[in-house]
Structure 1
């Protein structure tokens, strides 16, 4: 199969045919110097059709509160625990950032009290700085949350009456799988705006010798923190590498229960006219998948590469905030 590209030069329109393998390499590589043809969904109408196609509303009942976390069976938890061979844990949490920056509009506040024997914490964790988990009431589409609940039935001034993060109070134990796209491409990190497609996920599966399946937590490394270390902070919310919205049907078909990344999952700009965060909307609101934002995947990537093991026990313990839209979390990978 070949891919076509139109190039304008000196007033001439030339059709350039590229072998499929070349097209796959160049799609969203961030270093090729040219872009692939736009993929659906490209606009609001196509996005809405995709949302209707993938949504899990009613799948686990009219009153469901867990979404894709329903895929975590006792057998899945036992499978995850059996992955622990060394007893070595790695935190996925980035240190809470106290300085305002282009990617940190709401710095973490830490004030010492009581003769410096106590302290006070202040955090506004949603955004692009602090490692956290999103609750299912965090994002709405057409004034509805996951499972079709109207805003008025869920989101109140006192918190989320339904779908709050407290529904995960007992914690999450499952198999985590790291998808390291920079390593796949032989890069230290992806450039901002680089989209990641289904073929990238499947190429990583082949390279790593794993297959993402039902109940898994998929963790996408774009190298955001490695790039920040080298070039400094930038406005990740306006320009960042991440998933293209076209991955949503694949994620549903594989039965993925949780999705995380070192930013906020979406490629930014989104490449979907009229929708700023299509992946957030498709996964959270459509599929009922809790998202793990701003995870620091540098240490776990180094450990996984050293061990040549890209799967591990993943544990998530959000704060028990009744009606919370999410929670800061120190998520752990254990090998």
Structure 2
């Protein structure tokens, strides 16, 4: 299969399997039947918020390139539109109005990665030269537009000037509703709170011990306890604690990557910084820094959720002998963005 955008597709990818112009990847597996399966898991009507407050983790310890949100007052008549007395305009009016604006790094806290978040150098057009491409062959510079004349703003830490994911932006994910059956794998319970790399064997051991079965179209959540560690540090994360806490997936474990592919999971979510260990373990030759990201976002169209808060849900599921729930987690429908904050809800 070829398309106007590519003649070659990466080995092990599913480019074109959902159509030549597909932009949602494995979210195609979130069928009405999967939504009904999720709804069938609701027995108690109890809901869990799976988001941290969006001003966590605090500071820039987790990522020097991402900053906490800044909440600002809107303006009206040259004055801050905050505790604004309308009687100043008309003495007969009693309203007091507050409006605000937010500058937010879309991937600072609890978030989704859009498929435009990570691409790769790959010879998609078969001319013998690698080009920068994303899932399903969408192109850097054509479909994902970067700044032509970057202007760095020290105050915001951002580079402005016409950036836009015209394809694979987060709005395509949002339009699906992102609702279905969630499935939690409790890695923290089985492997503790100290940092260590784990792979396929450990994940399967945890699933077997708890009777967890991942099926096609499930939204899989990995509980490591990391978000709870972050919350307990109250927006002042200790770099030593961050570096020594909780299990991380070994993205170079080929058996783990094969399982992610063959399981049919629709999305992969974790309560840590990048799902897999960052940076990835050392290897030789040309390679991706984050091989699990390359597999999921670039090859298979699997959206990744990061820094979700899963501990309360994990504890309840364990106490009640369950691993499945209804998960509702649409990102912001923000055209052109390559990531989004999210306030996921699990209902049991």
Report Cα offsets for 1:195-252 as digits up to 9, x if no partner. 2211122112212212101001111122212334567433899777422222221111
Q: Which moved more, 1:93-102 or 1:130-139?
A: 93-102
Match of 2:91 in 1: none
Query: How far apart are residue 86 of structure 1 and its match?
Result: 0.7
**TM-score normalized by the length of structure 1:** 0.77
Partner Cα distance (1:316, 1:261) in 2: 13
Query: How far apart are residue 55 of structure 1 and its match?
Result: 1.4
RMSD: 2.3
Match of 2:188 among 182, 199, 203: 182
Higher CA-based Rg: 2
Match of 1:153 in 2: 142
Match of 1:109 in 2: 70
Partner Cα distance (2:240, 2:20) in 1: 39
**TM-score normalized by the length of structure 2:** 0.74
Matches within 5 A, 1:238-253: 241-245=247-251, 246=253, 247-253=256-262
Does structure 1 retain, via aligned residues, the 8 Å contact 2:228–2:309? no
**SS class of match (2:220):** strand
Structure 1, unpaired ranges of 5+: 1-50
**SS class of match (2:299):** helix
Partner Cα distance (1:229, 1:173) in 2: 26
Matches within 5 A, 1:127-138: 129-138=108-117
Does structure 2 retain, via aligned residues, the 8 Å contact 1:243–1:267? yes
| Residue 195 of structure 1 pairs with residue 197 of structure 2 | yes
Matches within 5 A, 1:24-35: none
Matches within 5 A, 1:35-54: 52-54=10-12
Partner Cα distance (1:244, 1:132) in 2: 21
Match of 2:94 in 1: none
Partner Cα distance (1:235, 1:78) in 2: 44
Match of 2:213 in 1: 211
Instruction: Name the CA shift for 1:258/1:221 in 2 (closer, same or farther; >3 Å).
Output: same
- Aligned residue pairs total 279
More helix by share: 1
Match of 2:275 in 1: 265
**SS class of match (1:152):** coil
Partner Cα distance (2:15, 2:240) in 1: 34
Partner Cα distance (1:230, 1:332) in 2: 21
Query: How far apart are residue 114 of structure 1 and its match?
Result: 2.5
Runs of 4+ in 1 over 6 A off after TM superposition: 235-240
Instruction: Name the CA shift for 1:154/1:238 in 2 (closer, same or farther; >3 Å).
Output: farther
Does structure 1 retain, via aligned residues, the 8 Å contact 2:35–2:180? yes
Match of 2:119 in 1: 140
